[in-house]
């Protein structure tokens, strides 16, 4: 496979703090012979593990970018042992446009891996992460939120992996991040995800969903910042122990955790995020907006659990992910 056309303006092996760019060639109506300039920071000192932090894998998710721009100003090389690579906005064209997917090629970064060096711009960025950045990493932390169309209880997540030793290290990292919820997540569509690319290389990977709706709150940003520092302490890059608070353990065991809309209309959530729900309980109604005087369609929980995610806009259509119900691990084990 040909070499990546992406050029980094930083030296990943140099000591100290460097602020620079990944220059991705781009020649469009707005800029001939130009480049998409993805900001990044590299902080390195002494010998130790490497962590890669990414935000805005989806461009309309903001806890990651806010916390990582903050980290790029805060982290001093004298305070660390190892290397921290910070990319606050991975799908930068999507981020600049305030969209989930790229404004240039429509690419969903988390469905573009392993990418191609001669592909679309999203595939070129994915390929650079896959062949250049991920091989440098010991820990990979991808900070997501729900974006404009979803909202979640704030959780860090790990996946069930074939390699149980690797899975245990991912779970330990998820627990160290110490979001209010910790979720063993089933992915419905994992083949082309960044997560899967990192996990295939044997890396310790954790993701998050820290909120949603296309903005960020003081609370969820604080969870992101604390989680990042906790992870750096867990990895031994920063000194000290991770701050530990209560975290509710959840699992999404199978497709029953995901309630999909089959109707278009006005969405009325009947329970809020974080609430306990029972199998068969009505969790949402969809009202017919073409006429009055018709009963709304009822959507029911298909398992006992916690409402961990929901469709965010108040209008819905068939195929929307209406609700995510996760099982409390204590309940799951009895």
- What is the DSSP pairing of strand 155-158 with strand 181-184? parallel
Phi, psi of 49 (to 5 degrees): -70, 165
- Output the smallest distance, CB 60 to Zn ion, in A: 8
Q: Which is nearer to Zn ion, 129 or 299 (by Cβ)?
A: 129
Q: Which is nearer to Zn ion, 175 or 195 (CB)?
A: 195
Among 44, 83, 99, 144, binds Zn ion (CB under 5 A): 144
Nearer to Zn ion, 18 or 103 (CB): 103
Q: What is the total count of residues that contact Zn ion (CB under 5 A)?
A: 3
Q: Which of 193, 233, 194 is nearest to 84 (CA)?
A: 233
Residue with smaller CB distance to Zn ion, 144 or 263: 144
Q: Hey, which residues between 199 and 218 contact Zn ion (CB under 5 A)?
A: none
Written as one string, the DSSP assignment of 9-64 is: SS-TTSSEEEEEEEEEEEEETTEEEEEEEEEEEEEEESS--EEEEEE-SSTT--HH
Q: Least distance to Zn ion from the beta carbon of 109, Å?
A: 9
Token duo for residue 286: 């969809």
Residue 83: CB minimum distance to Zn ion, A: 25
- Per CB under 5 A, 148 contacts Zn ion: no
The interface with Zn ion within residues 20-59 (CB under 5 A) comprises: 58
| Rounded least distance, CB 218 to Zn ion, Å | 21
In the bound state with Zn ion, the residue whose beta carbon lies nearer, of 63 and 138, is 63
Query: Across 49-190, where does the E strand assignment appear?
Result: 50-55, 82-87, 139-144, 150-152, 155-158, 181-184
Task: Using the rule CB under 5 A, give the single segment among 70-78, 101-109, 141-149, 218-226 that binds Zn ion.
Answer: 141-149
Closest CB 150 distance from Zn ion, rounded Å: 8
- Between 58 and 99, CB nearer to Zn ion: 58
Cis peptide before 178 (omega within 30 of 0): no
Q: How far is the CB of 196 from Zn ion (least distance, A)?
A: 14
Tokens of 139: 């820990």
Residue number, 17 or 221, with CB nearest to Zn ion: 221
Question: What are the beta bridge partners of residue 324?
Answer: 258, 309
- Beta bridge partner(s), residue 166: none
Minimum distance from residue 283 beta carbon to Zn ion (Å): 23
What are the Cα distances from residue 196, in Å, to 35, 86, 166, 193, 205?
28, 20, 13, 5, 9
Span from 72-80, 142-150, 217-225, 238-246 in contact with Zn ion (CB under 5 A): 142-150
Smallest distance from the beta carbon of 296 to Zn ion, in angstroms? 30
Nearer to Zn ion, 82 or 146 (CB): 146
Q: By CB under 5 A, which span of 9-17, 22-30, 143-151, 318-326 interacts with Zn ion? A: 143-151
**Structure tokens given for 100:** 């989930």
Pairing of strands 150-152, 181-184: unpaired
CB of 207 to Zn ion, least distance (A): 8
Q: With beta carbons less than 8 A apart as the criterion, state whether 85 and 137 touch.
A: yes
Expressed in percent and rounded to 5, the helix, strand and coil fractions of the chain are: 25, 30, 40
Segment near Zn ion (CB under 5 A), from 5-13, 29-37, 115-123, 136-144? 136-144
| CB closer to Zn ion out of 299 and 312 | 312
Question: Residue 77 is encoded by which pair of tokens?
Answer: 């090389």
Binding mask 53-82 for Zn ion (x = CB under 5 A): -----x--x---------------------
The length of the chain is: 334
CA distance linking residue 185 with residue 304, whole number of Å: 16
State the residues that interact with Zn ion by CB under 5 A.
58, 61, 144
């Amino acid at each position: 496979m040909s070499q990546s056309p992406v050029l980094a303006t930083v030296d990943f092996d140099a000591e100290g703090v460097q602020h620079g760019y990944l220059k991705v060639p781009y020649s469009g109506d707005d800029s001939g012979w130009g480049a998409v300039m993805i900001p990044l920071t590299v902080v390195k000192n002494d010998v130790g593990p490497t962590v890669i932090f990414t935000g805005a894998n989806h461009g309309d998710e903001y806890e990651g970018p806010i916390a990582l721009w903050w980290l790029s100003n805060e982290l001093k090389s004298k305070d660390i042992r190892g290397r921290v690579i910070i990319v606050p906005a991975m799908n930068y064209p999507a981020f600049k446009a305030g969209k989930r997917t790229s404004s240039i090629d429509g690419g969903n970064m988390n469905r573009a891996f392993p990418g191609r060096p001669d592909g679309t711009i999203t595939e070129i960025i994915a390929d650079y992460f896959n062949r250049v950045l991920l091989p440098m990493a010991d820990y990979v932390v991808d900070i997501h939120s729900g974006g404009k169309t979803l909202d979640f209880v704030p959780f860090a997540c790990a996946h069930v992996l074939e390699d149980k030793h690797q899975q245990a290290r991912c779970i330990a990292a998820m627990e160290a991040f110490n979001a209010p919820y910790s979720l063993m997540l089933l992915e419905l569509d994992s083949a082309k995800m960044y997560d899967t690319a990192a996990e295939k290389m044997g890396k310790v990977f954790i993701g998050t969903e820290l909120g949603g709706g296309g903005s960020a709150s003081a609370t969820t940003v604080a969870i992101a910042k604390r989680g990042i520092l906790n992870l750096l302490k867990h990895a031994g890059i920063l000194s000290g122990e991770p701050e530990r608070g209560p975290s509710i353990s959840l699992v999404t065991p199978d497709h029953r955790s995901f309630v999909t809309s089959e109707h278009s209309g006005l969405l009325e959530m009947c329970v809020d995020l974080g609430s306990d729900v029972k199998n068969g309980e009505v969790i949402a109604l969809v009202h017919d907006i073409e006429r009055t005087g018709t009963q709304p369609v009822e959507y029911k929980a298909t398992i006992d659990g916690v409402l961990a995610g929901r469709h965010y806009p108040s209008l819905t259509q068939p195929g929307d992910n209406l609700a995510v119900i996760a099982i409390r691990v204590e309940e799951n084990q009895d």
